[in-house]
Amino acid sequence: MDGDARLRITLLGAFQVSRGDAVVPVPGARLRGLLVRLALAGGRAVEPDVLVDAIWAEEPPSGPASALQTLVSRLRRALGSAGAVTQVTGGYRLDAADVDALRFERLAAAGRERLRAGDPEGAGAALTEAVALWGDRPGAEPAVIAAVAPTVATRLAQVSTEAVADLAEAELSLGRADASAARLTGLLADHPAHERAAALLMDA
């Protein structure tokens, strides 16, 4: 499948679904919630009970299995050829999607691994991309994720602050003290109790 055929889902910042240059409308909070929860699974199956809890929370429908099947059918129609929602053993799965939140987490993990391996340049490249994907509010939980997967939103928010600190550390190692200090100052303005950022700033 070529790049233009791949479904792209933006969860960090303004929610958007697209394929190539075309935006794919996904109307309605429940339909978006279903797509978000499936997207966060990264191609793995999500159990029906998990989906029902995520979408309907404290007000489950009287016939949850039927209601979920109806919602899945609506999502399939909304995505059309842009993406496939399949029923598999263990639940439902979203195929072939590029999800910015998952890409962010992979880049942040790769950057930290390279930093620990003594490769600040490689770490800086991965972390710069990760921080850019997240946007200008490290530590803020993405609302569209928090609505259906609050523990995931909290984890990603924590990863975002550590990614900024990791990038600042990589910049320090590369002799970019001014850039590192500016980054750490911004992080501490929003998270004054971040001890590692404070310690790094003392070395900047």
Same domain, 48 and 116: no
Residue 1: which pLDDT band, with cuts at 50, 70 and 90? very low
Specify the pLDDT at position 59: 85
Q: What is the distance between the alpha carbons of residues 177 and 169, in angstroms, rounded to a whole number?
A: 9
Q: In what order do the strands lie in the sheet with 97-99?
A: 22-23, 16-19, 7-10, 97-99
Helical pair 150-173 and 120-134, crossing angle rounded to 10 deg: 140
Q: Please tell me the total count of domains within the chain.
A: 2
Specify the pLDDT at position 204: 79
Global confidence as pTM? 0.91
Phi, psi of 45 (to 5 degrees): -70, 145
- Which residues are CB-neighbours of 109 under 8 A, at least 6 positions away? none
28's tokens: 């309605």
- Which residues are CB-neighbours of 180 under 8 A, at least 6 positions away? 168, 169, 171, 172, 200, 204
Residue 147: which pLDDT band, with cuts at 50, 70 and 90? very high
**CATH at residue 36:** 1.10.10.10
Specify the pLDDT at position 83: 64
Window from 93-97, 114-118, 191-195 with minimum mean pLDDT: 93-97
pLDDT in tens, 53-106: 999 987 888 899 999 999 999 999 999 865 689 999 989 999 878 999 999 999
pLDDT at 199 over 90: yes
Find the mean pLDDT for residues 39-51: 96
Find the mean pLDDT for residues 8-27: 93
Same domain, 10 and 78: yes
* Percent of the chain whose predicted confidence (pLDDT) is above 70: 97
Specify the pLDDT at position 24: 93
Same domain, 80 and 118: no
Specify the pLDDT at position 13: 87
Out of 95, 120, 147, pick the residue that ends a domain: 95
Same domain, 83 and 104: no
Nearest CA among 4, 24, 6 for reference residue 15: 24
Nearest CA among 10, 22, 24 for reference residue 84: 24
Same domain, 112 and 196: yes
Q: Give the domain extent around 138.
A: 99-203
Mean pLDDT of the chain: 93
